[in-house]
């Protein structure tokens, strides 16, 4: 059978430096240099994923954009990925193109939405995706380049160029990349993917549309209740009615729940009940219309709409009482996180 040709244009340049500068001139980068995508390299990525160039990975109906395997591979090469990352990227794009994720809305929002990508399963170790020290920081190729590929696809395939379709007022560092693996060994609980119905041996990605993380510090609490009370105090600065709220626990904080023999469900229910503010508070701070009335101080409004909207993950370095609180973009119903299997 004849190999399917690539549909993208071929551009001849003098050398690799000229290629890099050409990408800048065309606005095809995220502001950092990219790896020139040669046909040979793109085909190598497609071979690993088992896709033909024209295979449709996802569609963004609002924009009329079709994301093919070829486009995923090209941007993966540009981002500095290894070919073996391709199955993960395919699953990520499939997740983002689910209607409930609201790909277009999160891309065009003034709110500065970024994609938080969580990888579970044996593949995280095989690809050496960082789940430990500096988990949200630089220095790890899969974490950096997988998320960067998604950003380049957002720009180069879906039109999400800053100032044109991407209308973020401030933006955030997570727009470059926010990809992590869950520290499964350090967790006292089932992983996110198992919680969502997969087996521990399944490889999955979960994608959230999120605002920038808030680092939470607590080196003094020695019980689950006290730690969650302090988290709730920080969360109570957010507007009520969040659809999902991600709490990335450091191993040091996770051990408090292990020692206290708390289940994940128990922690979710406790934090759901404690992270709430009164109607009086909302009115006095201009977040709800009308004057404060008798009884408003007793009427509570949960920060997260449902108990299941509390999403606990474990990641980060072993030492340090720091965790991360991440609110979902779009409030209550604008977007929903999606989990997809990685097909190898």
Give 3-state DSSP helix, strand, coil % of the chain, rounded to 5. 35, 20, 45
Q: What is the pTM of this model?
A: 0.95
Helices 86-96 & 69-79 angle (0-180, nearest 10): 120
Q: Is the CB of residue 255 less than 8 Å from the CB of residue 278?
A: no
CA 35 – CA 38 distance, rounded (Å) = 9
pLDDT of 297 over the 60 cut? yes
Q: Is the pLDDT of residue 311 over 60?
A: yes
When the pLDDT of each residue in the chain is averaged and rounded to a whole number, the result is 95
Percent of residues, the chain, with pLDDT higher than 90: 94
pLDDT at 64: 85
Between 38-42, 80-84, 163-167, the lowest mean confidence (pLDDT) is in: 163-167
Provide the pLDDT confidence category of residue 1 given band limits of 50, 70 and 90.
very low
Sign of the CA dihedral with 45 first, then 47, 48, and 50 last = positive
| pLDDT > 70 in the chain, percent | 99
Q: Are the C-beta atoms of 133 and 178 separated by less than 8 Å?
A: no
Which segment of 116-120, 214-218, 333-337 scores lowest on mean pLDDT?
Answer: 333-337
- The structural domains of the chain, with segments of one domain joined by +, span 12-211+335-344, 213-327
**Pairing between β-strand 322-327 and β-strand 214-217 as defined by DSSP bridges:** antiparallel
Task: State the distance between the two ends of the chain, measured CA to CA, in whole angstroms.
Answer: 23
Mean pLDDT of 245-268: 98
More confident residue, 3 or 133: 133
Q: Please compute the mean of the pLDDT values over residues 123-150 and round it to a whole number.
A: 98
Give pLDDT tens digits for 162-174: 999 999 999 999 9
CA distance 57 to 51: 9
């Amino acid at each position: 059978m004849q190999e399917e040709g690539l549909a993208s244009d071929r551009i001849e340049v003098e050398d690799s430096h000229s290629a890099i500068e050409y990408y800048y001139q065309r606005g095809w980068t995220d502001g950092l240099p990219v790896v020139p995508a040669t046909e040979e390299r793109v085909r190598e990525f497609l071979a690993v994923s088992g896709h033909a160039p024209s295979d449709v990975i996802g569609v963004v109906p609002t924009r009329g954009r079709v994301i093919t395997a070829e486009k995923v591979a090209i941007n993966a090469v540009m981002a500095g990925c290894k070919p073996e990352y391709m199955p993960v990227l395919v699953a990520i794009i499939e997740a983002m193109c689910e209607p409930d994720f609201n790909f277009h809305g999160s891309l065009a929002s003034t709110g500065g939405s970024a994609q938080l990508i969580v990888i579970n399963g044996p593949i995280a170790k095989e690809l050496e995706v960082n789940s430990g020290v500096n988990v949200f920081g630089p220095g790890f190729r899969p974490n950096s380049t997988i998320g960067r590929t998604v950003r380049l696809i957002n720009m180069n395939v879906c039109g999400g160029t800053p100032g044109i379709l991407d209308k973020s007022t401030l933006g955030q560092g997570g727009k470059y990349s926010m990809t992590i693996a869950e520290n499964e060994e350090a967790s006292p609980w089932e992983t996110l993917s198992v919680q969502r119905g997969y087996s521990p041996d399944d490889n999955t990605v979960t994608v959230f549309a999120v605002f920038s993380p808030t680092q939470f510090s607590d080196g003094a609490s020695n019980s689950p209740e006290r730690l969650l009370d302090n988290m709730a105090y920080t969360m109570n600065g957010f507007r009520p009615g969040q659809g999902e709220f991600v709490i990335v626990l450091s191993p040091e904080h996770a051990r408090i729940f292990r020692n206290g023999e708390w289940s994940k469900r128990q922690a979710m229910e406790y934090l759901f009940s404690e992270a709430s503010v009164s109607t009086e508070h909302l009115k006095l701070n201009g977040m709800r219309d009308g004057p404060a009335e008798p009884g408003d101080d007793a009427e509570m409004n949960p920060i997260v709409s449902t108990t299941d909207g509390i999403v606990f993950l474990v990641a980060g370095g072993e030492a340090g009482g720091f965790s991360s609180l991440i609110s979902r973009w779009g409030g209550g119903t604008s977007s929903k996180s999606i989990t997809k299997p990685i097909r190898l």
